[in-house]
Chain A
Amino acid sequence: MKPAPFRYHRPSTPAEACEALAAELRDGAGAKVLAGGQSLVPLLSMRLASPPALVDINHLDPAAGLAAIEIRPEGVHVGALVRHADLLASEEARLAQPLLAQALAHVAHPTIRNRGTSVGSIVHADSAAELPAVLALLGGSLDVGSVRGTRTVPAEELFVGPLESSLAPDELALGATFPALADGAGVAFAEVARRHGDYALVGVAALVSNDTVKAAYLSVSDVPTVIDLTDVPDDDLGEAALSRLDPIGDIHATADYRAQLVRVLTAKVVREARKAR
């Protein structure tokens, strides 16, 4: 239950962090970025992962702005060092995009949210996590940097497999942009877990606007999945979603039970998102 040895880098600027990531990749297997560590450290301790090096971004110069939440015209921009607890507590973020606070309240327990970062959760790309599904539903994006420069990755190109993002091994996530709630649109989030704070058996987020109805699913597929439910009659929402999903059974819930949760939660969140408009 102790991590294997690793080389430790503590950059003070994002550029130094990218240098360290590039150097580690040149010399071998590459490094992992350590932000909140609430998913990474257990993986290291259980030796499910043993990267040769970590790049600890917790001590980056605050002037780099990675700990900032900014309300921009295009949406809520969340820096890579913003902790879940800070984003959940941000009144400005909640007003601009209420789905953030609705989903964040389900992310683990407050103690974990004090340390875990929202952007880290996105690049960890766990399909059972709330924020990847939220970013996918809203059509948000991730800003990433490397020694080659910066680029913006749209959410639909970000999640490629279980715990796998499309980032290159030497890229550093700098921040995520969650589009603001449009006028006349409504959002809702619901999940069922064995206990509040546990991983969801199924979670669903909905976005309803003047001409579209969309839902995003977590803990159902290998990657967060967005389904367009525009023009589907209310009584058929659950079945329409299931026709595009193939829930799996595991120790926590059977496939049938997950399918039933998809039916019930889809109808519930679409109804609530309509009401919230």
Chain B
Amino acid sequence: MSEDLHEFALTVNGVTHDLAVPARRLLSDALRHDLGLTGTHVGCEHGVCGACTVLLDGRPVRSCLMFAVTAQGAEVTTVEGLANDDDSLGPVQQAFAECHGLQCGFCTPGFLTTITAGLRDNPTPTHEQARDMIAGNLCRCTGYQNIVKAVERAAELSGEQR
């Protein structure tokens, strides 16, 4: 059986792409397979691990729990869209590098998008709020201590940039 394809435009990191995909195409798969944006990682594929988190109109969402066709009309931001305009690392990415906030790196894209939005909503989190900010994302390498440090460092770096 051949499936109906849905043709629509999807805006990712400010660039509009034309897609023709079945309705069942997950947003995570559309980003990775159809657009080649493999920065978004797929871990559990049922909304638990947080690796596939992207920003939808600025708010973190699980891209594995959305169909690409539903994201039509929204602005999607992936980890590829978090660098500074001159391609240098954005503040959250810089903080992860400085604080050793990643080891294997599989979960990192989801943390970076989540923290980027978290610091926008709360630019000066307490230690407890920094822990809370990342509570919905799983990391099996770091033990989280350095990721919490990276949240706090990213808040400093963002403050300096403002």
Q: Which residues of A contact B (CB under 8 A)?
A: 1-8, 10, 34, 37-38, 41-42, 44-46, 54, 56, 58-59, 85, 108-112, 114-115, 195-197
Contact across chains for A115 and B1 when beta carbons are under 8 A apart: no
List, in ascending order, chain B residues with CB within 8 A of A6's CB: 23-24
How near does chain B come to A58, taking the closest CB pair, in angstroms?
A: 5
A54 touching B23 in the complex, CB below 8 Å, given contacts A5-B1, A110-B136: yes
Instruction: Say if the beta carbon of B66 comes within 8 Å of chain A.
Output: yes
Q: Does B53 contact A (CB under 8 A)?
A: yes
Q: Is the CB of B50 within 8 A of A111?
A: yes
B24's partner among A4, A114, A115, A196 (CB-CB below 8 A) is A4
How far does the alpha carbon of A38 sit from the alpha carbon of B3 in the complex, in Å?
Answer: 24
Tell whether, in the assembled complex, residue A114 and residue B61 are in contact, meaning their CB atoms are under 8 Å apart: yes
Q: Among the listed A7, A34, A46, A114, which residue makes an inter-chain contact with B46, where contact means beta carbons less than 8 Å apart?
A: A46
Q: A34-B70, A59-B73, A197-B136 given as contacts; is B47 within 8 A of A41 (CB)?
A: yes
Q: A5-B22, A112-B62 are in contact. List 10 more A-B contacts (CB 8 A).
A: A2-B29, A3-B24, A34-B67, A42-B65, A110-B60, A112-B47, A112-B65, A114-B56, A115-B66, A196-B135
Name the residue of chain A whose CB is nearest to the CB of B69.
A8
- B114 interfacial contact with A, CB 8 Å: yes
Report how many A-B pairs have Cβ atoms within 8 Å. 86
B85: CB under 8 A from chain A?
no
Shortest beta-carbon contacts, A-B, top 3: A109-B136, A8-B23, A42-B46
Whether A2 pairs with B26 at a CB distance below 8 angstroms is yes
Cβ < 8 Å to A, chain B residues 16-71:
22-24, 26, 29, 45-47, 50, 53, 56, 59-62, 64-67, 69-70
A59 to B6, CA, bound (A): 15
With a cutoff of 8 Å between Cβ atoms, the chain B residues found around residue A109 in the complex are 50, 135-136
* Any A CB within 8 A of the CB of B4: yes
The answer to whether B46 touches A112, judged by C-beta atoms less than 8 angstroms apart, is: no
